[in-house]
Structure 1
Amino acid sequence: MSDATTEEKPKKGGSKVVLIGVLAAVIGAAAAGGGWYFLGRKPATAEEHVAKPEPAKAPTYMAMETMVVNLADPGGERFAQLGITVELSDEKAADKIKSFLPSIRSAILLLVSQRTSEELLTRPGKEKLARDIAGEVGRPLGFIPPEPVKEAPREAAKEGATDEVPMKKAVAREAAKDEANPVRGVLFSSFIIQ
């Protein structure tokens, strides 16, 4: 009897060893798999964590019919032919502008007819005209263009006197520039002066 009991003890001890071996193999496989997963991954870069900005919406353009306008030159013999395209914030603004197009065209014609050919032949004159047109196009949509800033008289500037009011108006106008105006820009597709 003593031989039978001694033989059973190694079998019980052997099953524990097998069980421990299987558990060690499972734990080792899990550790190896976890190590492979974490070490084999591509490292995260700062670019992946930063939210990518959404692409800007394509602007909405609206072309107006070509306009021919007499200029304010002495003798009234000079005229301008303008092709104007307006860049708008969205399609809704384009639909609104189309409903006011006759009054907008009239306002632009009046605006251009006050200019001289000498003024419109310079780049600053064209840029000022574009800003003024943007204000006139936005007016029917509720945008009230700011009053133009009048420059201080040159004599006062030479004497050393400063007039801060025009400067403050200019700063205020730049701060509120185009925030409410759905017109983002005025582009000239043709600009002929004869």
Structure 2
Amino acid sequence: MPSRQLPNDEVENKAPKRSRLLIIVLLLVAFLVSAGGIYLFVYNGNTPATAGNERKANCKQYKLEDFVLNLADPGLRRYLRIRITLEYSQPRLTKELEDKTYRLRDGLFLALSSKMTEDLQDKEALKQELLNTINLQLESGQVDNIYFEEFLIQ
């Protein structure tokens, strides 16, 4: 049985289709490899979420009792109710926080009761001020962050 031969036109048409398909596949592979390389270069295996999780695992929390205090608004009787949690990473700080709770509360009370309502609008600036007030009282470490679990002005 003789082998079947294709006419010259059909052989020429199959070659360009094959080379086009090969070029498309190679371009797709090159694109995927470069995208993967860019991803690894940008993130380098140290994503912020991973670093944050490691930090949170080492962090301790110290909850202060609620504060209820009058604000310094002239002519108005307004009060602030606030619940603060301290976050720190040095284990030796736990004992000092427990021993100095009265000093910390006093410093926070004085700082907060001198505020007027409009002074409390910028919560981030207030957090930084209170953080500085707390850290001035501490000797064996520093509090890393404070959180307002409750913040009510009435």
Distance in 1 (CA, whole Å) between partners of 2:100 and 2:111 is: 17
Note the C-alpha offset of 1:134: 1.0
CA contact (8 A) 2:68 2:82 kept: yes
Note the C-alpha offset of 1:119: 2.1
CA contact (8 A) 1:70 1:76 kept: no
CA contact (8 A) 1:59 1:89 kept: yes
- Structure 2 partner of 1:94: 94
Asked whether 1:85 is paired with 2:82, we answer: no
**Unaligned 5+ runs, structure 1:** 1-46, 144-180
Note the C-alpha offset of 1:139: 1.5
- Structure 2 partner of 1:112: 112
1:59-92: CA deviation from partner (whole Å, max 9, x where unpaired): 1111100001111101250110000000112221
Asked whether 1:130 is paired with 2:90, we answer: no
Paired letter, 1:137: I
State the secondary structure of the residue aligned to 1:94.
Answer: helix
Distance in 1 (CA, whole Å) between partners of 2:133 and 2:116 is: 19
State the secondary structure of the residue aligned to 2:108.
Answer: helix
Paired letter, 1:92: R
CA contact (8 A) 1:71 1:114 kept: yes
Paired letter, 1:70: N
- Structure 1 partner of 2:136: 139
TM-score by length of 1: 0.49
Match of 2:144 among 184, 188, 192: 184
CA contact (8 A) 1:97 1:137 kept: no
Paired letter, 2:134: V
Distance in 2 (CA, whole Å) between partners of 1:63 and 1:78 is: 25
**Unaligned 5+ runs, structure 2:** 1-39
TM-score by length of 2: 0.60
Distance in 2 (CA, whole Å) between partners of 1:103 and 1:76 is: 28
Distance in 1 (CA, whole Å) between partners of 2:76 and 2:88 is: 34
Larger-Rg structure: 1
CA contact (8 A) 1:96 1:141 kept: yes
Distance in 1 (CA, whole Å) between partners of 2:75 and 2:89 is: 40
State the secondary structure of the residue aligned to 1:91.
Answer: coil
State the secondary structure of the residue aligned to 2:126.
Answer: helix
Paired letter, 1:77: R
Distance in 1 (CA, whole Å) between partners of 2:104 and 2:139 is: 13
CA RMSD of aligned residues (A): 2.6
- Structure 1 stretches of 4+ with a deviation exceeding 6 A read none
